[in-house]
């Protein structure tokens, strides 16, 4: 896999689609349709993206919207993730890992007079493959497992785990240290020992960074 290590001046403001298309065109096979014939007028402008120089961003990740997207130090955004700031600011905390094909979006709004909403991920959050997140916030070192769905405006506390394929409802509040498990909407239990989850997240981040950068 080819990952892009963002460095200044890209860290200050990225015109991401342009940079990504250059990398993608270099890696695409010759039998793919050419992008040159497409009209640039149909493409929406990229959102303002502010990323730390240590951010690792796969070129196939799609960052769209109109509001700013902020990415903290040592965050890792893997291939084919989709991040949308169409309805408000998206803030991705330090050391966060967003895995393959995950979808993140600031919560959508239903009326024209509703103020913009935002999605905030705390430090060390892990969003696993295929998860869908429209939360208002996810606290530090929480893990959203494979295929889980976090509803619009939900609040997930720190050191939480939402297990694979479980759904958290719109506007629901999950307290610190809670594990949501089972089928569908799931059951809840509170974990008293929370240091282990943080250690696992840090180990995963260091492993991924080492594999992609050799450092």
For the chain, which domains are there? 4-26+42-213 (2.160.10.10)
152 contacts: CB under 8 Å, gap ≥ 6: 107, 108, 134, 135, 170, 171
Per-residue model confidence as pLDDT tens digits over 83-119: 999 989 999 999 999 999 999 999 876 555 556 789 9
Cis before 9 (ω within 30):
yes
What pLDDT is stored for residue 108 in this prediction?
79
**Residue 207 pLDDT more than 70?**
yes
Comparing CA positions, the residue from 92, 90, 88, 89 lying closest to residue 74 is: 92
pLDDT greater than 70 at residue 28: no
Q: Give how far Cα 200 sits from Cα of 123, 189, 215, Å.
A: 14, 20, 19
Rounded to 5°, the CA angle 96-98-99 comes to: 140
**Residue 67: φ, ψ to 5°:** -95, 160
Whether residue 4 is predicted with pLDDT greater than 60 in this model: the reply is: no
Choice between 118 and 11, residue whose per-residue pLDDT is larger: 118
Query: pTM score, two decimals?
Result: 0.75
């Amino acid at each position: 896999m080819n990952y892009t290590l963002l460095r200044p001046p890209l860290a200050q403001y990225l015109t991401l689609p342009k940079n990504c298309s250059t990398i993608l065109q270099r890696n695409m096979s010759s039998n793919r349709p050419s992008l040159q014939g497409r009209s640039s007028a149909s493409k929406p402008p990229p959102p303002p993206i502010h990323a730390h120089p240590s951010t690792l961003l796969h070129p196939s990740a799609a960052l769209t919207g109109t509001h700013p997207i902020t990415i903290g130090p040592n965050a890792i955004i893997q291939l084919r993730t989709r991040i949308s700031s169409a309805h408000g600011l998206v803030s991705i905390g330090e050391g966060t890992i967003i895995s393959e094909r995950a979808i993140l979006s600031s919560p959508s709004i239903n009326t024209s007079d509703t103020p913009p909403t935002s999605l905030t991920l705390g430090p060390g959050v892990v969003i696993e493959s295929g998860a869908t997140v429209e939360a208002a916030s996810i606290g530090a070192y929480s893990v959203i497992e494979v295929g889980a769905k976090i509803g619009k405006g939900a609040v997930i506390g720190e050191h939480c785990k939402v297990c694979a394929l479980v759904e958290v409802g719109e506007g629901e509040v999950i307290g610190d240290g809670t594990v949501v498990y089972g089928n569908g909407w799931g059951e809840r239990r509170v974990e008293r020992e929370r240091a282990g989850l943080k250690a696992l997240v840090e180990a995963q981040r260091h492993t991924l960074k080492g594999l992609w950068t050799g450092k």
